Amino acid sequence: MHETVSTLTTISNALETGSYDSTSDEKNIKQAIYLIAEQLKTSMNESDSIRGRLELKEEELLDLKKLIKVKHDELSELNIRLSLNEKKIENLQKELEEKDNKHKQTLEEARIDGQKKIK
């Protein structure tokens, strides 16, 4: 792209200074024009190539963004499951503690009843 701008600047300067108005061979002028045209074509082809690569990179970026969103959603779902499982564990622990206390109380009552019967 820079080469194109440079070429166009060179042409503009040559036109202003009258370089193309010289009395040199018409063949040399045609060669210069063909050379400049060829440079312009090359620059345009490079621009198209760069544009194509940029579009591919943009597509890759969009695909990566979609993948990140999917992974984020999966992570969110797993966090919800984890929270639910932690809550279940907490509830089961409370339930087991209550049963344990109940069994301890029953055992203590049975022990007291046994001691009363022994007396």
**What residue ranges do the domains of the chain occupy?**
2-118
Asked if 55 contacts 23 with a C-beta cutoff of 8 angstroms, the reply is no
Q: pLDDT-derived band of residue 106, with 50, 70 and 90 as boundaries?
A: very high
CA angle 16, 1, 62 (to 5 degrees): 150
Question: Does the pLDDT of residue 25 top 70, yes or no?
Answer: no
Identify the pLDDT of residue 119. 67
Give the residue from 28, 35, 30, 27 showing the smallest Cα distance to 10. Answer: 35
pTM across the whole model: 0.52
Cα distances from 16 to residues 26, 57, 58, 86, in angstroms, run: 19, 42, 42, 81
Question: Does the pLDDT of residue 49 top 80, yes or no?
Answer: yes
Q: Which amino acid is at 75?
A: L
